[in-house]
């Protein structure tokens, strides 16, 4: 397994020199400064690659080459947007970067209600609080029908939270929900989010799947021709939110994705945390089910509450059996080696992490601290070494 590290380029206050001290060998990054839908220029890609390599790393995965919202909505003439996406793929391949992680989540990427939830020992973590999300949807956003998406108990507690929260707490909740869009150019206030959601009116699970299928048919042949690997990230959280459908949340969803464009180039970013946030998902079993098409892995763990809340745990603790999951990945690597494949090693990164120690005083991207991820990488490295022995 290739030890990798997500780095946000000029948006990241963690330097590549600091990342080098973690022992990671690969960098996972993107051109976050380029607006969604525009072509990634060859020169910009080469500049980023040279920057990564000068620090002693390989650029192993693009995370992400974003999909424009109009493609997700199937809105209007999409010819130029698809052409731009394909050209960015061509430019990346020319630079020797062949793995692209992306997602098909409508409007928002990962969603949390708390960016600094306390954990034992004084550290903090990312948390999705069902009660706060319900309070936001029902009382702040005033989304019609939102009550039906939550239990009566959660709705009751959400009303209490909203009544007791002052403006600063409500603003902090909105900011937390918006924070899961690193590198994006849109940030919404409540009125703006309400307006943005209107663009998705009438788009249900069936329509969103059809739009996703069109994307795969448009870019899949280019990936085949270039020898590229497209790998979809699961929804985070793996449930409908804000009235928007989520269609990459389970093993059955991944089966649909892989069958929609049945090619080795169409694969999966196996995210243990995203899948693990849904109690019905057996993450090691899902990994075994799609193992042949796993191109990239995010390893993190979550602790779930009965009401639908969850928070980031340390990497080896709580609800997902990380040892069992890594065993599945190592077995797939062994299978690929036995086939004689040169690309048998699968890149992974320690995903998210607790903000702890000196990171608590740094201006860091939420969920992406230095020390918390270093701890996770060290723990995962130990599991991998032991299972490989």
Instruction: Tell me which residues are annotated as active site.
Output: 233, 271, 298, 351-352, 368
Instruction: Report the sign of the C-alpha dihedral through residues 206, 211, 212, 213, in that order.
Output: positive
Q: Which helix (H) or strand (E) holds 223?
A: helix 205-226
Token reading at 373: 């991820």
Assign 367 to helix, strand or coil: coil
Q: Which helix (H) or strand (E) holds 349?
A: strand 347-350
* Beta strand pairing call for 114-118 and 124-128: antiparallel
Instruction: Report the sign of the C-alpha dihedral through residues 20, 274, 272, 346, in that order.
Output: negative
Instruction: Report the sign of the C-alpha dihedral through residues 352, 322, 105, 233, in that order.
Output: positive
Token reading at 346: 């699968």
| First vs last C-alpha separation in the chain | 14
Count the alpha carbons within 13 Å of 120 in the hemisphere toward its beta carbon.
Answer: 2
From edge to edge, which strands make up the β-sheet containing 310-313? 114-118, 124-128, 310-313, 301-304
């Amino acid at each position: 397994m290739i030890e990798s590290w997500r780095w946000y380029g000029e948006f990241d206050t963690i330097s590549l020199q600091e990342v080098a001290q973690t022992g990671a060998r690969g960098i996972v990054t993107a051109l976050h400064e380029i607006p969604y839908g525009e072509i990634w220029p060859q020169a910009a890609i080469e500049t980023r690659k040279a920057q990564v390599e000068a620090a002693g790393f390989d650029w192993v995965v693009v995370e992400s080459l974003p999909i424009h919202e109009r493609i997700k909505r199937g809105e209007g003439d999409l010819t130029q947007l698809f052409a731009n996406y394909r050209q960015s793929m061509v430019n990346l391949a020319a630079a020797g970067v062949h793995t692209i992680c992306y997602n098909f989540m409508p409007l928002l990427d990962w969603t949390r209600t708390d960016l600094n939830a306390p954990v034992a020992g004084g550290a903090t973590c990312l948390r999705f609080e069902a009660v706060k999300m319900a309070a936001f949807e029902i009382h702040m956003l005033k989304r019609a029908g939102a009550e039906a998406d939550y239990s009566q108990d959660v709705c009751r507690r959400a009303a209490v939270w909203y009544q007791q929260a002052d403006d600063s707490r409500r603003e902090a909740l909105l900011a937390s929900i918006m924070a899961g869009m690193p590198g994006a150019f849109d940030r919404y206030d409540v009125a703006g989010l309400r307006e943005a959601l209107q663009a998705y009116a009438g788009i249900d699970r069936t329509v969103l799947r059809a739009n996703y299928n069109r994307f795969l048919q448009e870019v899949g042949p280019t990936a085949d021709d270039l020898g590229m690997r497209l790998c979809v990230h699961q929804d985070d959280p793996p449930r409908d939110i804000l009235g928007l459908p989520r269609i990459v949340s389970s093993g059955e969803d991944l089966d649909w994705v892989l069958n929609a464009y049945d090619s080795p180039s169409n694969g999966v970013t196996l995210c243990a945390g995203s899948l693990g946030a849904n109690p019905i998902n057996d993450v090691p079993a899902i990994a075994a089910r799609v193992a042949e098409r796993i191109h990239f892995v995010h390893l993190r763990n979550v602790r779930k509450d009965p009401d639908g809340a969850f928070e980031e745990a340390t990497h080896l603790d709580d609800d997902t059996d990380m040892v069992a999951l890594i065993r599945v990945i190592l077995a797939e690597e062994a299978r690929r080696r036995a086939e004689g494949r040169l690309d048998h090693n699968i890149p992974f990164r320690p995903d998210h992490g607790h903000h702890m120690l000196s990171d608590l005083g740094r201006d860091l991207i939420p969920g992406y601290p230095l020390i918390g991820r270093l701890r996770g990488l060290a723990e995962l490295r130990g599991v991998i070494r032991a299972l490989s022995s």
